[in-house]
Amino acid sequence: MSGEVSKVSKPQLRGLLQSQIKKNLILAIAVASAAAVAQKFLLNDRRKNRYAEFYKSYDIDKSFEQIRSKGLFDSC
Protein backbone atom coordinates (compact mmCIF):
# COMPACT_ATOMS: atom_id res chain seq x y z
CA MET A 1 0.00 0.00 0.00
CA SER A 2 2.69 2.49 0.90
CA GLY A 3 4.78 1.98 -2.22
CA GLU A 4 2.20 3.10 -4.78
CA VAL A 5 1.18 6.64 -3.79
CA SER A 6 1.59 9.25 -6.55
CA LYS A 7 3.12 12.63 -5.83
CA VAL A 8 0.38 15.11 -4.86
CA SER A 9 1.05 18.68 -5.97
CA LYS A 10 1.21 21.26 -3.19
CA PRO A 11 -2.07 23.19 -2.93
CA GLN A 12 -2.06 26.98 -3.03
CA LEU A 13 -1.73 28.08 0.59
CA ARG A 14 -1.67 31.88 0.33
CA GLY A 15 -4.02 34.32 -1.34
CA LEU A 16 -6.47 31.56 -2.19
CA LEU A 17 -9.64 33.61 -1.81
CA GLN A 18 -8.33 36.36 -4.08
CA SER A 19 -7.21 34.00 -6.81
CA GLN A 20 -10.45 32.03 -6.57
CA ILE A 21 -12.50 35.22 -6.78
CA LYS A 22 -10.55 36.36 -9.84
CA LYS A 23 -11.00 33.03 -11.61
CA ASN A 24 -14.67 32.75 -10.70
CA LEU A 25 -15.38 36.35 -11.67
CA ILE A 26 -13.89 35.91 -15.14
CA LEU A 27 -15.75 32.64 -15.59
CA ALA A 28 -19.04 34.15 -14.42
CA ILE A 29 -18.74 37.19 -16.69
CA ALA A 30 -17.85 34.98 -19.66
CA VAL A 31 -20.77 32.61 -19.12
CA ALA A 32 -23.24 35.45 -18.52
CA SER A 33 -22.13 37.27 -21.67
CA ALA A 34 -22.33 34.10 -23.71
CA ALA A 35 -25.83 33.50 -22.40
CA ALA A 36 -26.89 37.06 -23.22
CA VAL A 37 -25.49 36.85 -26.76
CA ALA A 38 -27.16 33.49 -27.33
CA GLN A 39 -30.44 34.87 -25.97
CA LYS A 40 -30.28 37.83 -28.35
CA PHE A 41 -29.56 35.87 -31.50
CA LEU A 42 -31.42 32.64 -30.93
CA LEU A 43 -34.51 33.97 -29.18
CA ASN A 44 -35.02 37.74 -29.38
CA ASP A 45 -34.10 38.23 -33.03
CA ARG A 46 -36.00 35.10 -34.06
CA ARG A 47 -39.15 36.37 -32.40
CA LYS A 48 -38.80 39.86 -33.87
CA ASN A 49 -38.39 38.39 -37.34
CA ARG A 50 -41.43 36.17 -36.93
CA TYR A 51 -43.55 39.15 -35.93
CA ALA A 52 -42.21 41.19 -38.87
CA GLU A 53 -42.98 38.36 -41.29
CA PHE A 54 -46.48 37.98 -39.91
CA TYR A 55 -47.36 41.64 -40.18
CA LYS A 56 -45.96 41.95 -43.74
CA SER A 57 -48.82 39.89 -45.09
CA TYR A 58 -51.48 40.58 -42.45
CA ASP A 59 -54.79 41.94 -43.69
CA ILE A 60 -56.68 43.08 -40.63
CA ASP A 61 -59.92 43.79 -42.48
CA LYS A 62 -59.99 40.26 -43.83
CA SER A 63 -59.50 38.85 -40.32
CA PHE A 64 -62.22 41.15 -39.03
CA GLU A 65 -64.67 39.86 -41.65
CA GLN A 66 -63.76 36.25 -40.92
CA ILE A 67 -64.49 36.64 -37.22
CA ARG A 68 -67.57 38.77 -37.71
CA SER A 69 -69.14 36.39 -40.18
CA LYS A 70 -68.98 33.62 -37.56
CA GLY A 71 -71.02 35.80 -35.22
CA LEU A 72 -68.33 35.97 -32.55
CA PHE A 73 -68.42 39.76 -32.01
CA ASP A 74 -70.97 41.12 -29.54
CA SER A 75 -71.19 44.59 -31.08
CA CYS A 76 -71.55 43.84 -34.77
Partner 1 sequence: MAGKLMLFGKIAHNIPGSSIQRCAMSSYVRTLIGKREIVGFGFNGEPNYVDRTDFPLPAIRWKEPSPDVLTLREKEKGDWKLLSIEEKKALYRASFCQTFAEFKAPTGEWKSVIGLGLVFISVAFWIFYGMKVFVYSPLPDSFKKENREAQLRRIIDLQMNPVEGIASKWDYEKDDWKK
The verdict on 44 binding partner 1 (CB under 8 A) reads no
Interface residue with partner 1, options 3, 18, 70, 75 (CB under 8 A): 70
CA 53, CA 67: separation in Å to the nearest integer?
22
The verdict on 51 binding partner 1 (CB under 8 A) reads yes
The verdict on 72 binding partner 1 (CB under 8 A) reads yes
Residues at the contact surface with partner 1, assessed by CB under 8 A: 47, 50-51, 54, 63, 66-67, 70, 72
